[in-house]
Amino acid sequence: MSNHRVAILGNPNENYEPHCRMDSCFKEFQTNFDFTFEWIPTETLSENPDSILSGFQGIVAGSGPYLSKEGVINGIRYARTNNIPFLGTCSGFGYAVLEFGQFLLNLGTVHHPYEDVELTTGETFLQQLNNCCAGMHTIRFEPVRGSLTAKVYKNSPVVQEESHCTYGISTHMVPVFAKAGLLISGYDDEKEAKIMEYKKSDFFIITLFLPQFRSDIENPHPLLSSFFRSVMAK
């Protein structure tokens, strides 16, 4: 058995295409990378996530919905604070933003915009509130020069990807997060963040798109390839 293990934080639904695509995509990557992977139910991480995640060399937070907000946030925090290669896609982007904001601003509670709760000012401004899960659509973004993202995409000036939601980071939080190391590394035509990276980790990238929808065994996605190379280096 491989010494490299990847945890997917999530509650898989066999009838939800993003989950099915991630599962099949990771199986294809096993052709070229020696690793095993397993889905870790978010509710199992609500307390003492270290005991579950300490044996993994890579962590992914894919599409929701998640059964435990606290669990997925704990899993993301474990990856970030222990320099474990991490990739967050779609909902993984949103909850990584929540994790970082909660830590940075010392917030006791954070909420995703689609939660049916009345938000306080401190909780509201981490993410854009007027966005939504819009169904599958193609997005374009420009990688920021000098970023890991630009390196992953071989300095391509424009990248196209498939996305399911439009939840981003609130504009006024961009410089606050950047100062603490979480930077936008790809903007769309409206200057909205579509991909971010945490500079204090070797590999910590979050995206508002789903790379598994543009990956197959003959043309593996460069972002996923880069993630797995980072896992192999652990």
Q: How confident is residue 132, by pLDDT bands cut at 50, 70 and 90? A: low
Per-residue pLDDT tens over the stretch 17-40: 999 999 999 999 999 999 999 999
| Residue 198 β-bridge partners | 182
Is omega for the bond preceding 65 within 30 degrees of 0, making it cis?
Answer: yes
Which tokens is 179 given?
Answer: 């100062």
Question: What residue segments make up the domains of the chain, in order of their start?
Answer: 5-232
Percent of the chain with pLDDT over 90: 71
Per-residue pLDDT tens over the stretch 133-158: 567 789 899 999 999 999 999 999 99
C-alpha to C-alpha distance for 190 and 205, rounded to whole angstroms: 21
* DSSP letter, residue 45: G
Residue with tokens 């994790």: 99
Percent of the chain with pLDDT over 70: 89
Per-residue pLDDT tens over the stretch 182-205: 999 999 988 889 999 999 999 999
Question: 5-232: which CATH number, 3.40.50.12710, 3.40.50.880, 3.30.420.40, 3.30.420.10?
Answer: 3.40.50.880
pTM of the model as a whole: 0.92
Torsions phi, psi for 182 (to 5 deg) = -100, 105
Closest CA to 228 of 54, 79, 39, 29: 29
Is a pLDDT exceeding 60 seen at residue 5? Answer: yes
Which tokens is 136 given?
Answer: 């599958």
C-alpha to C-alpha distance for 162 and 201, rounded to whole angstroms: 26
Is a pLDDT exceeding 90 seen at residue 79? Answer: yes
CB 179, CB 188: distance < 8 Å: no
* DSSP letter, residue 173: G
